[in-house]
Amino acid sequence: MAAFHEAHPRVDLDFVAGSQDEICAQVLQGRLDLAVTYDLALPPGLQVTSLNAARPLLVLPADHRLADQEQVRLAEVIEEPMIVLDISPSRENTARIFRDAGLQPHVAFRTSDFEVTRSLVAKGLGYAILVQRPAGDLSYGGEPLAVKSSGEDVAPLGVIMVRNPQLRPSTAATALAAVVDRVARQDLWPG
Amino acid sequence: MAAFHEAHPRVDLDFVAGSQDEICAQVLQGRLDLAVTYDLALPPGLQVTSLNAARPLLVLPADHRLADQEQVRLAEVIEEPMIVLDISPSRENTARIFRDAGLQPHVAFRTSDFEVTRSLVAKGLGYAILVQRPAGDLSYGGEPLAVKSSGEDVAPLGVIMVRNPQLRPSTAATALAAVVDRVARQDLWPG
């Protein structure tokens, strides 16, 4: 975005974050030029561009008995309480992962907020499955988290750009889409 | 919450985060037992308990020319672009601060997300006024922020618990309110 702003300083940029439903609705209504999201639980009628992929991660408190392992399999924590980030597409992603693994989690808490989920994990109330990994691996309160790959247990999730195919994009929207496409691909495959 | 869960292990706790409008509407509809929020832009009809107060902070990129000052006055950055977290009550809080100071900010970007706001600041696109300060002072991408007090320029904002006075609280809700009250007061005035 910094790169786009330098190249196009007179274009006003507004940023909106929200659940899959909210964001996709705004794209379909023409209120957003584009959105970057996950390839899951999408409504019909969107133009989808694949950007990269992310592998969901297992988030544990830093003092968890398995925190020193490089990988933690889902089966190793399945008897423990889980905290679900219960908004789309995290809800569908979590359900998909356990369905694929043939496992049934013990859901202890549901939240609608990414950082509340991380804070509950840091307090030792359960584990969580999250895709985004903020730098630092700390909760907002400063408690450390152990963020682990589950290896082949968890399939990657596509990261995509969605636009409205019914609308002719403005010059600015086309330029922004090109920057998003370039930056998002670099992010995953540098060099 | 960890303390409450230990004392009341059989009570199911759900956590919801959202804008002031969304959260207060859910309390008034009886869908939430209580909410912790800021004392600003509240709808009528809520029972309000004062918990503590927080002073909004000026957030700068770590390489900002004023990042080494202990305090940064609003007038020192007022000619620079500002990034507004444009959701209630952050929107009203930011407007109130500049109105009180008799200053007019140059709004460069509007976002609906706390972490997008912090990321844009970290990228050098402007300063922001935010109340919450996550541990670590890093953006999600790992770029450092300089978080500064503006001293007497910025009045504190009340942190409150809101409930629905029309509803008789359950035993669990009463116990939770007592824990929230105790923990939130300790948080600000330890000892």
The residue written with tokens 């691996």 in the block is: A137
How far does the CA of residue A86 sit from the closest CA of chain B (Å)?
9
Residue B187 pLDDT grade (very low, low, confident, very high; cuts 50, 70, 90): low
Contact state of B112 with A139 under an 8 Å Cβ cutoff: no
Q: B37 - beta bridge partners? A: B160
Mean per-residue pLDDT, A128-157:
93
Nearest to A108 by CA among A70, A78, A131: A78
DSSP for residue B31: S
Q: What are phi and psi of A45, to 5 degrees?
A: 95, 10
How many contacts does A have with B, using Cβ atoms within 8 A?
Answer: 81
Q: Flag whether pLDDT at A188 surpasses 60.
A: no
Same fold, B2-52+157-188 and B56-153: yes
Distance CA B92, CA B96 (A): 6
Distance CA B132, CA B146 (A): 14
Q: What is the pLDDT of residue B7?
A: 80
Q: Is B81 helix (H, G, I), strand (E, B) or coil?
A: strand
Calculate the CA B157 to chain-centre distance. Answer: 9
Residue A190 pLDDT grade (very low, low, confident, very high; cuts 50, 70, 90): very low
Contact state of A13 with B109 under an 8 Å Cβ cutoff: yes
User: Which of A8-12, A171-175, B144-148 ranks highest by mean pLDDT?
Assistant: B144-148
Choose the weakest-confidence range: A16-30, B5-19, B92-106. B5-19
Out of A17, A112, A116, closest to residue B116 by CB: A17
Amino acid residing at B84 = V
Chain A contact set for B120 (CB, 8 A): 1, 15
Q: What is the dihedral of CA B85, B87, B142, A96, to 10 degrees?
A: -160
Percentage of the residues of chain A whose pLDDT score is greater than 90:
74
User: What is the token pair recorded at A122?
Assistant: 């840091």
User: What is the token pair recorded at B172?
Assistant: 């669990």
Q: A158 - beta bridge partners? A: A53
Class of domain B2-52+157-188: alpha beta
Nearest to A118 by CA among A53, A71, A58, A39: A58
- Three-state SS for chain A is CHHHHHHCCCCCCEECCCCHHHHHHHHHCCCCCCEEEECCCCCCCCEEEEEEEECCEEEEECCCCCCCCCECCHHHHCCCEEEEECCCCHHHHHHHHHHHHCCCCEEEEEECCHHHHHHHHHCCCCEEEECCCCCCCECCCCCEEEEEECHHHCCCEEEEEEECCCCCCCHHHHHHHHHHHHHHHHHHCCC
Residue A180 pLDDT grade (very low, low, confident, very high; cuts 50, 70, 90): confident
Q: A interface mutation test: which of B13, B15, B179 has the most A CBs within 10 A?
A: B15
Handedness of CA B114, A123, A83, A51 (dihedral sign): positive
How far does the CA of residue B177 sit from the closest CA of chain A (Å)?
18
pLDDT in tens, A90-124: 999 999 999 999 999 999 999 999 999 999 999 99
CB A66 within 8 A of CB A60: yes
Out of B18, B110, B138, closest to residue A136 by CB: B138
Chain B contact set for A142 (CB, 8 A): 135-136
Contact state of A109 with B16 under an 8 Å Cβ cutoff: no
Nearest to B19 by CA among A16, A134, A175: A16
CATH assignment of A56-153? 3.40.190.10
Q: What architecture is domain A2-53+157-188? A: 3-Layer(aba) Sandwich (3.40)
Q: What are phi and psi of A59, to 5 degrees?
A: -110, 125
Contact state of B138 with A139 under an 8 Å Cβ cutoff: no
How far does the CA of residue B113 sit from the closest CA of chain A (Å)?
6
Average pLDDT over all residues of chain B? 91
Q: Domains of chain A: which residue ranges?
A: 2-53+157-188, 56-153
ipTM for this model = 0.84
Mean per-residue pLDDT, B167-187:
85
Distance CA B25, CA A163 (A): 32
Q: Flag whether pLDDT at A66 surpasses 50.
A: yes
Q: What is the pLDDT of residue A18?
A: 87
β-strands A106-111, A81-85 pairing: parallel
How far does the CA of residue A187 sit from the closest CA of chain B (Å)?
11
Chain B contact set for A2 (CB, 8 A): 123-125
